[in-house]
Structure 1
Amino acid sequence: MGKEAISIGANTFQFFTRNPRGSKAKPIDEEDVRNYQEYAKANGIHTILAHAPYTLNPASADKKVRDFAYLTIADDLKRMEYVPGNYYNFHPGSHTTQTREAGMENIIQLLNDVMYPEMRTTVLLETMAGKGTEIGRTFEELAAIIEKIQLKDRIGVCLDTCHIFDGGYDIKEHLEQVIEEFDQTIGLDKLKALHLNDSKNPFSSHKDRHEKLGEGSLGSTTFVNIINHPRLQGIPCYLETPNELAGYQKEIAFLRNEYRSAPVI
């Protein structure tokens, strides 16, 4: 994936640790890891982001479902040690038949059980759109989870632009206020990554359907404002728009052209 990233003008990338709809992961090829690390160093690839499978639900009321999430995340974090110093992102999950508070406690317990002092990966909670019983729509929910995580230096947030806009944070018209609210509620020091995605749906729709940059409800200007905001500098950005490689290359070129301070990462 490193070579693909460089070929389209990127200097970082996101990848799934295993099939995004399944549970099996490929065996680690240590020679492949060494080759990647050499290539990344030679080509200036920055912090990469691993994404957990969508099928995980660490908030579930069902112990078997939580156990599956635990085993998967535990395995992923061990595998991430082959490329230390990077990020591991996951969807907090849905509380299903129990209370929201009970679901949040399940997430906290799982993370405290699976994270360990020697790990060199930072785990990121992703902001969500608020579909159904999803946890993570509000900054307050994420802050409450982070507050109870024992390894504070290994936990952070990945902010998804489509998700928070669909979730009720108006980053199109009130970006400054949203950033300030995040800082006051969670702390900008915990904002480790950005998913740059437009939205197919209107503000506060709670739908979570990604669109290509500039072709959805957020519009191009929103992303220009985000990447140039002084308080968001240095945070790696990852595209999850409905594109093929050529489309991602076009979006990266657009972002680089509109970035007024330094190269976009």
Structure 2
Amino acid sequence: MPKIGSHVSFSDKGLLNAAEEAVSYGSSTFMIYTGAPQNTRRKPIETQFIEEGKALMDKHALNEIVVHAPYIINLGSYKEDTFELAVRFLQEEIRRTDYLGVRNIVLHPGAYTDKDAEYGIARIADGLNEVLAGVKDTNVNIALETMAGKGTEIGRSFDEIAMIMDKVEDNGRLTVCFDTCHVHDAGYDIINDLDGVLDHFDRTVGLDKLAVIHLNDSKNPRGASKDRHAPVGSGWIGFDAMNNIVRHESLQHLPMILETPWIGKEDKTQRPMYEAEIALLSGNLNGRFGGEFLDHVERIDHLFTKKDIHHRDFVLKTWELLKNDAKAKKADGREPMERLYDILFEERLLPDLSEEQLNQRLTVWLAGKEVLKQA
């Protein structure tokens, strides 16, 4: 059974809040930041309801979780103050991660900004050497995240990840986080040739180095180098390809984390689809939601069939329109799930359901009829 969860909030009551949120989605793992990812402000980790959180995790068999390092860490920077801050702050985050008893902290390797990729790779490796030398008393691995290739970020190819690792002395402390959106956006064909991609990764880095999977659909076609996540099934990757990843024998043992965007008409009504996505990918739709939920999905399918709307065709044609027709995008920039929701709303189908509830059912519909047959 795959371990699937989501990014959750480490808020007022720290680990306890995070565990409660993860349980509410039906997670079997989860990922946290130990503070805001955009700044260096941190509460003492000892005050973050750690024992209470671990007790709840034990109750629900949440025995392997992941920490993500803050976005502001850039070990690729040529600026000394930025580089030194990155080293010190990452060391602090590793110690906080170790206090939690978590084995892997995910790190965006860094960006070379005004230099070049060769400089960035060497600089990141130097930074990792310095970081690891200062945290020898911890049991935490740094999981380098595969990146989409946006801007000057490093890690956009398996070769760049391998080159960093080769330059790090204590590289037994380095692992990899495989992000599905990033790998797709970087040009790897995980839709049609997952085995080939994993074979390439194994030859270049080593499958034994994989420690975490980030499960994200993509708003862009393969090779776009954009890094814009989409809810499961509503992007270019699609449910079938993501389900193949979850079920792959080489990956099933790893914690798999959703970072899919929250959706809704307005900021105040936006909600994550984590509960539906986790139930879908773990094969627990009926157990999580029950027969009435699935009947609602059947009714949605009946309506869309009458309107000659096919789930994958609709998603891909909408993204193609938004990508290729600037005038159409400016006039109507609604994404696939927004358009589908609007159809259901206009038809007054299932009018008693909230926006979140209707979007949950749309998430399942986007997975296709075969999922309903197996639920």
- The answer to whether the superposition gives a TM-score over 0.5 is yes
Give 5+ residue unaligned stretches, structure 1.
260-265
Aligned residues: 259
CA separation of 1:63/1:196 partners in 2, compared to 1, >3 Å: closer, same or farther? same
Deviation at 1:206, TM superposition (A): 0.4
What corresponds to 1:253 in structure 2? 279
**Aligned positions of 1:157-196 closer than 5 A:** 157-196=176-215
Matched with 1:202 is 221
Q: Give the equivalent residue in structure 1 for 2:244.
A: 225
Q: Give the conservation status (yes or no) of the 8 Å contact 2:66–2:102.
A: no
Partners of 1:258 and 1:59 lie apart in 2 by 42
Q: Offset at 1:41?
A: 2.1
**Cα distance in 1 for residues equivalent to 2:174 and 2:146:** 14
Asked if 1:29 corresponds to 2:46, the answer is: yes
RMSD: 1.6
- Of 148, 151, 155, 1:132 maps to 151
Query: What is the match of residue 76 of structure 2?
Result: 59
| Paired position in structure 2 for 1:263 | none
Residue identity in the other structure for 2:242: F
8 Å CA contact retained: 1:8, 1:245: no
SS, match of residue 232 in structure 1: coil
Bigger helix fraction:
2
**119, 123, 138: which one pairs with 2:142?**
123
**CA contact 1:2–1:39 (8 Å) conserved in 2:** yes
Which is worse superposed, 41-50 or 166-175?
A: 41-50
Return the match for 2:89 from 72, 75, 78: 72
Kindly provide the CA deviation profile for residues 233-255 of structure 1, in whole angstroms up to 9, marking residues without a partner as x.
20110000002665100100001
Match status 1:241 vs 2:267: no
The answer to whether the Cα contact below 8 Å between 2:67 and 2:102 also exists between their aligned partners in 1 is no
Runs of 5+ unmatched residues, structure 2: 1-17, 263-269, 286-375
Could you say what secondary structure the match of 2:144 adopts?
strand
Distance (Å, rounded) in 2 between the aligned partners of 1:15 and 1:131 = 24
| AA in 2 matched with 1:114 | V
In structure 2, what residue type is equivalent to 1:257? G
1:39 matches 2:56: yes
1:94-113 deviations in whole A, cap 9, x for unaligned? 11111211111111111111
Aligned-residue offset at 1:80? 1.4
Contact 1:85 1:122 in 2 (8 A): no
2:108 aligned with 1:91: yes
